[in-house]
Chains A and B, each alone.
Chain A
Amino acid sequence: MTAIDLGATNLDATKLNADKLFQRKRMGAFAIPVVIAIYLVYIFFAFDVPGLAGRANLNNAVTLASDSWSYKVHVTRDNRSGDTSYAIEGSRKGAYPEGQRPDWVSGDEVITIDLGADHVVRYLPGARTEIEIPGFQMIEVRAEGRSLVTNLPEDVPDWISASDRRIGITTPEGRITMTGARTEVFNYFPGWELFWFTLDSPYHGNGLAAILFGDRIDPDRPNITGAVSDWWNNAMWRHKDVAWAIGETILMAFLGTMGAAIIALPLAFLAARRFSPIMVLRAATRRLFDFVRGVDALIWTVVLARAFGPGPLTGALAILITDTGTFGKVFSEALENVDQKQIEGISSTGAKPLQRYRFGVIPQVVPVLLSQILYFLESNTRSATIIGAITGGGIGLLLTQAIQTQNDWEQVAYYIVLIVLMVMVMDWLSAWLRGKLIGRST
């Protein structure tokens, strides 16, 4: 009887407990999403997301998106001298040689620019410009000193922005800007023009087959060496500098990671309880690891850049110092977990301490160490890109510069593609090496 009573009260108590537990779990299931939602609402206002719409510049996004896969040819007239120049991307490096111009420009006295789809711009003598746009009146503009005289009505459609100093017209076929000093027409074409050869190279406009198998194009040089050298020294796309920059970035990652591993390994022995009997030394090494890790690559970069100046070495050293801390921590943890039996076996043969480490400990920890090092090699390629942007070296710097100049978005797109490819190749390489060195299982 008593036993059953006891069982009943026990059962009640258990049930009560279970109910409470479930209630708590249910509360948790609701509370966690609610806390996350509240936090996101707080962030929404703390980061001023509502104000973002005002600050965001959608025009920038449109230029970026359209420029990244197309190039533009500038036809510029200096309104004072009346000279007209033609240049790809408006850059001196992309200028057409004297006496040459795109085939959609014609006329000598009156220069007619055919943008396509019946959009025509005419540069008339006397700093006058005529613009024909289908479905709109003929636009006439005359530059007088620093101001412009036009026949545009008071209220213009939103693809025209007009003041008496500057007129901008954006059409699907191209863009026209006019100021007192100059009139400029941008004609857009898809692709990355001049990616292979600039206009001053004799190989520009020749196909691959013509270069490989055709007649000698430049009488002074064989086709292939000439073409490769002109491509390599392309002033617009700077393939040589880009290759060097990628090399620098990978070099930073490699030097930093490997150097850190070399320095961290002996220090890790000092920090591991099994190998370092002196408590003070152990604690000191660990605090050193924590310190260099905590200071972080950003601060190391800033400090080292003062001593060594900008460049890849500074980046490599910043990675090296930070990762020495990380590796030291990881390595010493791996060393604490080694199996004592192998060390005993080695010492039973009369091995000295150094030999015990070499043959008893190292073979056990090498797989862990290698996989960590290779993982960091890949991740440091990304860090090196970022550090390069700060310290001034590598592809990160090129990317930052290209974004800051704000006009060569196709180069930005090119650098982004190269960076992503570089990281993916390093990722693949590190996975492949890991497979080769320590087997697939790890």
Chain B
Amino acid sequence: MTDASLGSTPRGLDAIRDSYMAQVHRRRLYGGLALLIFVVLMASGFNIADDRNAGGFWSGLHQIGDYPADVLSEAWEKRAELPGLIVKFFPALVETVNIAAVSTLIGAIGGLFLSLLGTRGLAKWPRLIPLFRRISDMMRAVPEIVIALVLIFVLGGGPVPAMIAIAIHTAGALGKMFSEVAENADLKPVEGLASTGATWSQRMLLGVLPQVAPNYVSYALLRFEINIRASAILGFVGAGGLGYELRNSMAWGPGRFDEAAAIFILLFGTIVFFDQLSSRYRNRLTEGQGQ
């Protein structure tokens, strides 16, 4: 018995080792192939992008510093005027932040309803869950610039088109994130409230919202950070705020670089400031959850 088992073990071991090695080789081959495809894609993609660009990568590489250097040197020459310019552009900054804040607020309210109506177990009309999910997908898929450009054509330039555009995208994006949180919510409070005859809005307000509020607020703050950037970019295509001022001062070219520098400083400062602020509050919110 023992002899037989001893005799058979090495052969079994060999087979296992062979198949293991074969598996490892196959996996390495696949991994290598995937890496090769990836490298080829990156290289050819880079070449195509380089070909279709107005200036080449290698010829432009040493010029990267030129524009910032021009802006900085001119701003340094006129450094005495810089505080005045910052004051001048401060209202534009306020507008950019306001666009982000309002659109986050409206988008969060929209996302709240989309998420509650699109989550199994919570929805008011369970049959319509797929509809609300598709609505939220559609709103998420439309880039802000599409809605903003169309609305600028209809409503004229200004903060409102940007606000609506960002709010729509935010509602879709938050709707998805919110509903992922809401799926994990405990349904017992909802059932308890339902047994007392509470209406749907009461069940949501008293049963679900207290559970999900920290996560919702945390996601909304993260969106706010993203939306500040989006609102600055949309300003560049004509939707008011800091981006609009930046485009104007860029269009003037040299001689107005001090204005561009002031706007760069304001934008950079704002983004960093709100990033820090929101990450501090988000940390506090998620820590509070652990208790």
Binds B, one of A92-100, A219-227, A264-272, A420-428: A420-428
Minimum Cβ distance to chain B for residue A138 (Å): 36
B259 at the interface (CB under 8 A from A): no
Binds A, one of B11-19, B82-90, B267-275: B267-275
A40 at the interface (CB under 8 A from B): yes
A309 to B56, CA, bound (A): 8
A43 to B94, CA, bound (A): 11
Binds B, one of A53-61, A76-84, A169-177, A203-211: A53-61
Q: Once A and B bind, how many residue pairs between them come within 8 Å at the CB atom? A: 179
Contacts known (A302-B250, A386-B145, A390-B236); A308 close to B57, Cβ less than 8 A: yes
A365 at the interface (CB under 8 A from B): no
Across the interface, do B45 and A48 meet the contact criterion of CB distance under 8 Å?
A: no
Across the interface, do B243 and A303 meet the contact criterion of CB distance under 8 Å?
A: no
Across the interface, do A299 and B105 meet the contact criterion of CB distance under 8 Å?
A: no
Mark out the residues of chain B between 240 and 260 whose CB falls within 8 Å of any chain A CB in the assembled complex: 243, 246, 250
Minimum Cβ distance to chain B for residue A201 (Å): 27
Mark out the residues of chain B between 68 and 126 whose CB falls within 8 Å of any chain A CB in the assembled complex: 68, 95, 98, 101-102, 105
Q: What residues on B are CB-neighbors of A167 within 8 Å?
A: none
Q: What residues on A are CB-neighbors of B267 within 8 Å?
A: 296, 298-299
Q: What residues on B are CB-neighbors of A39 within 8 Å?
A: 101-102, 105
B142 at the interface (CB under 8 A from A): yes
A352 to B101, CA, bound (A): 50
Mark out the residues of chain A between 294 and 327 whose CB falls within 8 Å of any chain B CB in the assembled complex: 294-299, 302-304, 306-314, 316
Annotate B142-169 by CB proximity to A: 1 below 8 A, 0 otherwise: 1111100110011110111001000000
Across the interface, do B155 and A52 meet the contact criterion of CB distance under 8 Å?
A: yes
Q: What residues on A are CB-neighbors of B45 within 8 Å?
A: 251, 254-255
Q: What residues on A are CB-neighbors of B38 within 8 Å?
A: 258
Interface of B is mostly: helix
A47 to B154, CA, bound (A): 16
A403 to B147, CA, bound (A): 11
A290 at the interface (CB under 8 A from B): yes
Contacts known (A248-B52, A298-B243, A299-B264); A400 close to B158, Cβ less than 8 A: no
Q: What residues on A are CB-neighbors of B145 within 8 Å?
A: 385-386, 389, 396, 399
Q: What residues on A are CB-neighbors of B95 within 8 Å?
A: 46
Annotate A400-433 by CB proximity to B: 1 below 8 A, 0 otherwise: 1001001000001000100110011001000000
Q: What residues on A are CB-neighbors of B4 within 8 Å?
A: none
A309 to B101, CA, bound (A): 34
With beta carbons under 8 angstroms apart, the residue of B141, B160, B271, B272 that contacts A423 is B141
Contacts known (A47-B160, A294-B272, A299-B268); A248 close to B49, Cβ less than 8 A: yes
A260 to B271, CA, bound (A): 20
Q: Which residue of A lies closest to B163 (CB)?
A: A47
Minimum Cβ distance to chain B for residue A404 (Å): 9
